[in-house]
Amino acid sequence: MKLMKLSLLTLSCLSVWATANDTNYILAKNTLEVETIAKGDKPPRKKEERIYEGPALSGIPILDDMAVGIDAIDGLMATSVDVSTTMFFGGVYTGNLVATCNADVTTPEPELGLLFCRQSTTFFLDVGNRNGRLDVSVAKGSSHLNSTEASPSSLVCFNIDCHGNPEEPIEFDVTPYETGTLTLSSQFYTSGIIPAQSAVGQFVFVWDYYMDAYRFNADDKSDHLIDANTLLDNGNNHYHMVGAKKWTSGFLPVDIAKKYRLRGDFKSVDENESFIYFGFESYDENHELIRSIMVNRAGNDGVVSSFNATSIQTDNALQGWAPLHQSNLYRGIGIYPDGDTSKRPKHIIDPTQGNHYQTLGNNQVDLAAALPAEVMNDIIPGVTVIKNHQASSAHIYIAGQHVGNQWTHFEQDFEGALWYNNHHSFRPETKYVKVYVAGNWINSENAELLFDNLVLETIEQE
């Protein structure tokens, strides 16, 4: 089972042209033709060609079928339908699908007609011998109809079928050796007296597999690191890295309310020791990287009283903020327009991007560069809060050192989420992580590294 790089799956559009006085209609997709009969008969289901960008996704067969139907009673009817699907895979454990059905119908006379569009997608995932939890949701569903008449109606429906369960589950447990199956279907139709009109239906479907253990063991039955190479050494297969490289997993869903353990084994191939970083990158629910500057905070809250492009004044004294003799990297500012500091700030004065505070008074900070207009427009005196934000290590890691030519084991437990940089808890708002190994990294570019038995697993909380 291979993890897939950030990739896109696109299905081409279909178009239907029909004349109610004719007997047969043609459904065309490129050179694919399917005959369909008028007066209520729908085109047969047709498996669509899929186009992958990036490595082939093995281990998850994806079955798609689409049907577009029309039914006209007498009169001339011209119909066009576009059905498009975009799929995003962040590895085998998470993904989302966006499907849209656009329809345009024209009749010279207000005759009765029906337009029908259906799309369904099925996912299969063999979870092997591990337990887990599957979360499924339709993030958004909408329909829109434009018409010169009030009589036509439109409908967009959603169905999620997991393991044959006709209900729409939010989550359920996945047991060992069980194959998880998701079936998603959407149907869209307009009916009634159809003059010139158009309609749109769209949904966004999101799924995540939370596994009790993600394992990277350099064999075909384990999860795989993207682009990783292996080497047979003394009868055992290990990951083998030559030169300075960084290998990561795909997106792995994590529940930061649980306790996790990350572990792995490393050794250099010869006397030329490899410097390694071993840990994980942190991502939010939108698969956006959570940088340290966004969650690494110090000092108290400052409630904005007034401001201009290069200066911010507060109602209260600023205490515990990084003093001016410290590096610029420690002198960033998070701006919370609504005053809610339980979440990441909407705006960052980012020292890694050339701005920081250059003077610090009891009730005032002066900036090295002007605030953008969109930031100033969001600041509300008496409501907006500012906090000292500091840049630190790019990612969380449990090993950052040289390793010799004997196997070295690294292991660290992670629990909770903290608003300062550390390597024993998650960054706030983490929804996904990518396990990574950066090998032969510092003054060891010519070294060779072997590693194996990388595991990120949930453990019992004490």
pLDDT in tens, 129-138: 677 887 877 7
Rounded to an integer, the average pLDDT of 305-328 is 96
Rounded to an integer, the average pLDDT of 234-258 is 92
- 376 SS3 class: helix
320 lies in some domain: yes
352 and 450 in a single domain? The answer is no
C-alpha pair distances (Å), 457 with each of 1, 210, 255, 428, 453: 19, 10, 11, 19, 12
Q: CATH code at 451?
A: 2.60.120.260
Bridge partners of 72, per DSSP, are: 113
Task: Provide the pLDDT for residue 43.
Answer: 39
Domain closes at, from 195, 211, 227: 211
What's the rounded Cα separation, in Å, for the pair 149 and 178?
Answer: 51
- At 251-301, the pLDDT tens digits run 999 999 999 999 999 999 988 999 999 999 999 998 999 999 999 999 999
What's the rounded Cα separation, in Å, for the pair 229 and 237?
Answer: 10
Domain closes at, from 211, 228, 261: 211
- At 90-124, the pLDDT tens digits run 777 887 777 777 766 666 555 555 666 666 777 66
The amino acid sitting at 40 is: G
Bridge partners of 132, per DSSP, are: 174, 211
201 and 56 in a single domain? The answer is yes
- Alpha carbon 428 to its chain's center: 17
400 and 385 in a single domain? The answer is no
Lowest mean pLDDT among 38-42, 197-201, 275-279, 361-365: 38-42
348 lies in some domain: yes
Rounded to an integer, the average pLDDT of 297-322 is 97
Query: Please, what is the Cα angle at 290 between 284 and 294, to 5 degrees?
Result: 125
Task: Provide the pLDDT for residue 410.
Answer: 98
Range of the domain at 58: 7-211
304 lies in some domain: yes
User: pLDDT above 90 covers what percent of the chain?
Assistant: 46
HSE of 233, CA atoms in CB hemisphere, 13 A: 16
436 and 360 in a single domain? The answer is no
225 and 183 in a single domain? The answer is no
Whether 427 contacts 214, CB under 8 Å: no
Query: Please, what is the Cα angle at 205 between 201 and 209, to 5 degrees?
Result: 170
Task: Provide the pLDDT for residue 286.
Answer: 87
38 and 84 in a single domain? The answer is yes
- At 178-208, the pLDDT tens digits run 555 666 666 666 666 555 566 677 777 788 8
109 and 140 in a single domain? The answer is yes
Domain closes at, from 211, 227, 257: 211
66 lies in some domain: yes
59 and 179 in a single domain? The answer is yes
Q: Say whether pLDDT at 46 is over 60.
A: no
What's the rounded Cα separation, in Å, for the pair 410 and 398?
Answer: 7
70 and 96 in a single domain? The answer is yes
314 lies in some domain: yes
1 lies in some domain: no
Task: Provide the pLDDT for residue 49.
Answer: 36
Q: Say whether pLDDT at 454 is over 90.
A: yes
- Could you tell me which of 224, 289, 211, 189 has the C-alpha nearest to residue 255? 211
Task: Provide the pLDDT for residue 268.
Answer: 95
107 and 202 in a single domain? The answer is yes
282 and 318 in a single domain? The answer is no
What's the rounded Cα separation, in Å, for the pair 179 and 163?
Answer: 9
| Average pLDDT in the chain | 76
353 lies in some domain: yes
More confident residue, 176 or 243: 243
Task: Provide the pLDDT for residue 7.
Answer: 20
In the chain, how many domains are there?
3
The amino acid sitting at 80 is: S
Task: Provide the pLDDT for residue 169.
Answer: 45
2 lies in some domain: no
Task: Provide the pLDDT for residue 5.
Answer: 21
- For 147, other C-beta atoms within 10 Å of its C-beta total 19
279 and 380 in a single domain? The answer is no
Task: Provide the pLDDT for residue 142.
Answer: 63
